[in-house]
Amino acid sequence: MIRFTSRFRFGARANPYIKAQKTLKVDGKEYKFFSLPALGDSKLNHLPYSIRVLLESAVRNCDEFAVTSKDVQNILNWETNAPKQIEIPFKPARVILQDFTGVPAVVDLAAMRDAMKRLGGDPQKINPLCPVDLVIDHSVQADVSRVPRAYEENEKIEFSRNYERFEFLKWGSTAFKNFLIVPPGSGIVHQVNLEYLARVVMEEQGYLFPDSVVGTDSHTTMINGLGVTGWGVGGIEAEAVMLGQTISMVLPEVVGFRLHGKLPANVTATDLVLTCTQMLRKRGVVGKFVEFFGPGVETLSLADRATIANMAPEYGATMGYFPIDHKTIDYLNLTGRPESKVRQIETYLREQGLFRDYKSGNDPHFSGDVLDLDLASVQPSLSGPKRPHDRKDWASCLNNKVGFKGFGIPQEKQTDVAEFTYQGQKYSLQHGSVVIAAITSCTNTSNPESMIGAGLLAKNAVEKGLKVKPYIKTTLSPGSNVVTKYFEESGVSKYLDQLGFTTAGYGCMTCIGNTGELDNEVAEAIKNKDLVAAAVLSGNRNFEARIHQQVRANYLASPPLVVAYALAGTVNIDFDTTPIGTDKNGKPVFLKDIWPSREQCGKAVEQALKPQMFRDIYSRIAQGTERWNQLKVNKTDLYQWKPESTYIHNPPFFQTTELNPKQVQPIKNAYCLLNLGDFITTDHISPAGSISENSPAGRYLKSKGVAKKDFNTYGARRGNDEIMARGTFANTRIINKLVSKVGPQTVYVPTGDVMDVFDAADKHMKEGNQTIVLAGQEYGSGSSRDWAAKGPYLQGVKCVIAQSFERIHRSNLVGMGILPLEFLKGESADTLGLTGKEQFTINVNESNLTLGQTYTVETSTGKKFQAKSRLDTEVEIEYYKHGGILQYVLRKLVKA
C-alpha cells in the first residue's frame, strides 16, 4: 500500500494545483498553504470533513508521480466514487508508536540498515523522513498494588525487566533522525498524543497543512476526537511511512452519526461509547469512516469525543471522526498550547473550510442512511464478558454454552463457593466475584469528568464507611501525570487510596494484560472450584485471557462503575434493587446514594484542572526519570547485535534478501496448521501476556538459562523473533477445530500427533511442507499487532483462507507476503465440509495475480472450491511479489 516519494516535494516536481497556493498572515508572520476553496469546486461544500483532509493532502502533494491530478479528482468526486472501491494515495504527516509495537519497528529498521549495507547501499537511507514519536507505555506491570509506593516499586521492576529494550530504544533515538522517545512513566501514548504531541496544524518549510497521523496501535483513532485524521496501521506499514512513502488506501465510505439531546446526570462518556459501539457494530462499518455531527456534539466535552473516537476499532471503523470546532480550540487552550499556535490553528482552519460550525445547519453528505442517537436515552452500561460490543447478562452467560457470551457452567455448579483465608480473615468467592478492579486505559483516563467522577464516588463511599475487600486487586493507572495533579487539586486522591486505588504506574497496564499476578490465596480459590471470576476495568478490550489467564469474565465500565463494582465485590448485582454495602450505622447504601452527577463532576473539573498543569508536566516530558537518564548507549549508525540477548535479536526478514525478488510459486499440497472459527483476534494469534513455563517459548528461555521469574511478557520480548515465533497461536483460550480441547495445540496431520502449534509448524518446515490456516469471520480483529502476521510467517504459513478479515490484519498479512483469501459469500470451511486434515493446492503464480482474482482451491480428498484474493490494490500485488512490503521498500531504496 505504498507509493514512493520524498518527504516534502514542494518544488521537486511541478504541482498542477500551484494556483491554489495562497498566503496567510497570522500575528505578523506569513505562511503558505494549498487552499481547498481556491479549487472552485462546489462539491467541496458537501464533502465530509474527514474526506476534506484526504483531499488537502492529495492537492498539496500532487506531483503527477506519487499523487496525480486524477487522484485529486477521485477524492473531489467522493460521493460518486466511494462505493466503487477506488484506490487513492494518502501521505500522513507523522507516525506514532508505543513501545510494544515500536521495539520491533526499530528492530526492523536496524536490520534493514544492515541489509542496505550488505547490498551496497547507504544505511542512512533507512531513516525516518517524517516526525516519529514513540511513547514507552506498555512495559509497566501492576506487580505491586494497594500500597503507597506501588508506582515506585513497579517502575523499579519495569526497568529491571526491560533494561535491554530501553537501552535499544535509547540507541534508536540517537541513531535515527526525526525520532522522539517519550520515556517510561510519562503516560499512555494516546493520551500523551491528545494532550501534547498532536499539532492539529503542521508547520513545515513555511507551509501549513492539517495534522494527520498513523500509529502502530489501533486506538490511534483517539486523536479523531481532536479533529486530527488518524488511525492504526500495522507496524510493517508504519515503517514504510517512516521511510517517506505514501499510503495507498481505498477511498472510504463515510457513515454519518447524528447526536442530539443531552446525556443524563448519571451517565458517563463510557456509557455513551459502549452504546455507540453496539449501534455501529450492528450497522456494519468495517473499512469505513464514521463522522459525528448534530447538535448533541456541542454538548460533549473534547474528552468525551476522544473517548468515543478511541473505540473506533471496537465498532470496526477506520476512524470515528469529530471535525474541529470551538470546543477543539478551548481544549488546546486548556492543555496549555501556546496562544500564538492556537491562533494560527484556528485562522488556518477557517480559511481552509475545515472548521465546523454546527449552528450553520450545513451538514455534509454521507454514505447511505445516517445513524441517530438521542443522548438522553443512554443508560449506564457494562460491556462483556468477552467482547467490547456485548452487554452484561450475567445469568445467561453462566448458562450459555462456551462462546462469546457463555461459560457453560452446569446448573449444579453455579452456586459453588470457595472458602479461603487472606491476611488472617476468612473470605469466600463465587462465580462472578470481582478479583480485579482497575481504573486504566487511554479510553477513560484521558477524560477528567469520568476520572473525577471515580474520585468523588470514592469520597462518598469512604464517608459512608464503605470498604473494598482487601483481596481484590485494585489499581489506578493514570494516562498522564496531569491526572495525578488534578486528583490532588480536587482532593480525591486520599479517598481513592483508602479504597485501594493507589497509583500503580503511568501506562496501559491492566488494559493490555499487564495485570501482574493475583495473590496465591485468591488464585488457588479460583482454581479449586473452577470459578468464573470477574475483572472490571475502564479499558477498551476484554478478549479472552487478555486481562488475566485465570479470570474468565472481563467487563468494561466507566471509572466510577469500576469503583462501584469493587465495593460490591461481584458483578452479579442489580444496583437498583440491591445495596452496594452498609454504612457505619448498619444502614443499607445504594449506588444512587453515592453516585456523583455529571454536573458535580463538571464543576469539580472546572475548579481543579488548569492549563499550567499541562505546561508544567509536558515542559519536562522528554527529560525522563533518573533511571532513564542513567542508560548509556553507543552512538552508532549500525546496531551492535548481542547474540546472547533474549530481548533484542537480529530478525531473519532481510538477512537473505536479494536485489531482485524470486518468481511467485504456487502453493502445493499444503497442510492445515489450524482450523479456526469466527472472531479470532490478534490476541489469539499474536504472542501476548505472560509466558507459560511449559510453552515452546518458556522451554526456549529455560534452554538459554533464563529463570521463570525473569520470563517477563511476550509484549516485552517483541524484539526477539525466536520468542515471538514460539508464542504465535499460544493463547490458552484459542479454539482449534483440529483438536478436542481449548488451548494452543494442533494436529501434525501427516502423523496425527497432537502437539503445540509451534512444534507442529517447526516440524512442517523441517520436512519441507507448506502450511495454511482456515478461519471464519472477522479474522484478525483487535489490536494492530504486526506479530500476528510476522509470527505465522516465521511458522511457515503461506496463506490464510477466512470468511472475512479485519482491515489492519489483512494489510499486515500482505505486508509479510502471506496470501489472504476469502471464501465466497455464504461459504465456510464448515459448509464446504473441510476438516482441516486435507492438503490444499492453490495455483497462484506470477501470471494470475490480478485484482479481484478468484482461485480454485483443490484438496487431496477431491473437493474443490473457489476463494477470492484479498490483494486489494495493484501495489499490494507488488508487495506480494516481493515477499512483503519492507522487502519492496528495501529494494527500491537500494536501487534509488
- CA distance linking residue 75 with residue 97, whole number of Å: 28
- Looking at residues 35-63, what average pLDDT do you find? 96
Identify any residues that bridge with 841 across adjacent strands, giving them in sequence order.
858
Residues 447 and 579 in one domain: yes
Percent of the chain scoring above 90 in pLDDT:
73
pLDDT value at residue 362: 87
In a domain, 263, yes or no: no
Lowest-confidence pick of 202-216, 387-401, 720-734, 764-778: 387-401
Closest alpha carbon to 53 in 331, 287, 356: 356
Question: Is residue 645 domain-resident?
Answer: no
Cell digits for 323?
Answer: 471535525
Whether residue 674 sits in one domain with residue 604? no
Is 469 part of any domain? yes
Query: HEC string of 643-698?
Result: CCCCCCCCCCCCCCCCCCCCCCCCEEEEEEEEEECCCCEHHHHCCCCECCCCCHHH
Of residues 319, 318, 286, 235, the one with CA closest to residue 812: 235
Q: What is the DSSP letter of 818?
A: P
**Residue 2 has what pLDDT?**
43
Question: What pLDDT shows up at residue 274?
Answer: 86
One domain, residues 563 and 681? no
Domain presence at residue 278: no
Torsion sign, CA atoms 423, 425, 431, 432: negative
Could you tell me the pLDDT band of residue 1, with boundaries at 50, 70 and 90?
Answer: very low
Same domain, 470 and 598: yes
Residue 75 domain-assigned (yes or no): no
Domain count, the chain: 2
Choose among 598, 564, 559, 576: nearest CA to 263: 598
Q: Are 582 and 569 in contact (CB under 8 A)?
A: no
Rounded (5°) CA angle 599-600-601: 90
**Distances from the Cα of 347 to the Cα of 28, 328, 343, 521, 790, angstroms:** 13, 13, 6, 61, 45
pLDDT at 873: 79
Task: For residue 779, tell me if it sits in a domain.
Answer: yes
Mean pLDDT computed over 113-119: 95
Sign of CA dihedral 89, 94, 100, 104: positive
The answer, yes or no, to whether residue 616 has pLDDT greater than 90, is: yes
Residue ending a domain, choose from 580, 609, 638: 609
Query: Can you give the CATH number for the domain in which 869 is found?
Result: 3.20.19.10
Strands, sheet with 21-26, edge to edge from the N-terminal-most edge strand:
21-26, 29-34, 207-210, 201-204
If asked whether residues 605 and 671 sit together in one domain, one would say no
DSSP state of 93: S
β-pairing verdict for 667-675 and 839-842: antiparallel
Bridge partners for 667 per DSSP: 842
Distance, CA of 250 to CA of 286 (rounded, Å): 12
Do 604 and 680 reside in the same domain of the chain?
no
What is the average per-residue pLDDT within 120-129?
92
Angstrom distance (rounded) from CA 134 to CA 672: 38
Q: In 3D, which of 90, 80, 81 has the Cα closest to residue 60? A: 90
3-class state of residue 534 by DSSP: strand
pLDDT at 101: 83
Kindly report, residue by residue over 234-261, the tens digit of the pLDDT.
788 888 888 888 888 889 999 999 999 9
pLDDT at position 575 over 80: yes
Smallest CA-to-CA distance from 857 within 826, 883, 884, 819 is with 819
Q: Is residue 597 domain-shared with residue 732, that is, in the same domain?
A: no
> Looking at per-residue confidence, does 544 or 516 come out higher?
516
Each residue's pLDDT tens digit, 629-663 = 888 898 999 999 999 999 999 999 999 999 999 99
Lookup: cell for 691: 509466558
Same domain for 418 and 544 = yes
Give the model confidence (pLDDT) of 188-219 as tens digits.
999 999 999 999 999 999 999 999 999 988 89
End-to-end CA distance of the chain: 19
pLDDT at residue 11, as a whole number? 42
Cell numbers 492453490 correspond to 842
The amino acid at residue 448 is P
CA distances from 581 to 418, 467, 516, 572, 654 (A): 21, 9, 28, 14, 61
What distance in Å separates the CA atoms of residue 797 and residue 789, rounded to the nearest whole number?
9
Return the CATH number at 504: 3.30.499.10
- Predicted confidence (pLDDT) at residue 7 exceeds the cutoff of 50: no
Answer yes or no: do 413 and 523 share one domain: yes
Average pLDDT estimate for 84-98: 92
pLDDT of residue 598: 84
pLDDT in tens, 837-871: 999 999 999 889 998 899 999 999 999 999 999 99
Last residue of one domain, picked from the residues 609, 627, 653: 609
Amino acid at 113: R
Rg (CA), the chain: 26
Mean pLDDT of 179-184: 92
Report the alpha-carbon angle 454-456-457, nearest 5: 65
720 domain-assigned: no
- Write out pLDDT tens, residues 355-389: 998 877 789 999 999 999 999 999 887 766 666 55
Burial 435-453 (b: 16+ CB within 10 A, else e): bbbbbbbbbbbbbbbbbbb
- pLDDT score for 9: 44
pLDDT of 562? 95
Higher pLDDT, 567 or 688: 567
Q: Which of 797, 795, 794 is nearest to 771 (CA)?
A: 797
* Alpha-carbon gap, residue 791 to 651, rounded angstroms: 12
> How many CB atoms are closer than 10 A to CB 587?
11
Give the structural domain span for 833: 667-686+728-895
Considering the domain architecture, whether residues 679 and 554 belong to the same structural domain is answered as no
Contact (Cβ atoms closer than 8 angstroms) between residue 113 and residue 655:
no
Same domain, 875 and 741: yes
Tell me which of 121-135, 320-334, 679-693 is least confident. Answer: 679-693
Query: Residue 334's pLDDT is what?
Result: 95
The cell numbers describing 630, all together, are 542513567
Compute the mean pLDDT over every residue in the chain, rounded to the nearest whole number: 91
Distance CA 271, CA 378 (A): 7
pLDDT, one tens digit per residue, over 584-612 is 999 999 999 999 988 899 999 999 999 99
Mean pLDDT value across residues 738-743:
94
Last residue of a domain, one of 593, 609, 625: 609
In this model, does residue 550 exceed pLDDT 50?
yes
Residue 292 pairs in a beta bridge with 257
pLDDT band at 10 (very low <50, low <70, confident <90, very high): very low
**Mean pLDDT value of segment 27-43:** 96
The whole-angstrom distance between residue 208's C-alpha and the CA centroid of its chain comes to 29
Q: Which of 357-361, 392-396, 450-454, 677-681 has the lowest mean pLDDT?
A: 392-396
Q: Which contacts of 633-636 are long-range, i.e. CB under 8 A and separated by 24 or more positions?
A: 633/167, 633/170, 633/171, 633/174, 634/171, 635/171, 635/174, 635/175, 636/171, 636/175
Alpha carbon distances (Å) from 387 to 380, 508, 552, 619? 17, 18, 12, 39
Residue 256 lies in a domain: no
Same domain, 826 and 753: yes
3-state DSSP percent of the chain in helix, strand and coil, to 5:
40, 20, 40
> Taking 60 as the threshold, does the pLDDT of residue 288 lie above it?
yes
**What is the amino acid identity at position 690?**
S
Greatest mean pLDDT range, 127-131, 252-256, 575-579: 252-256
Could you tell me which residue, 12 or 94, shows the higher pLDDT?
Answer: 94
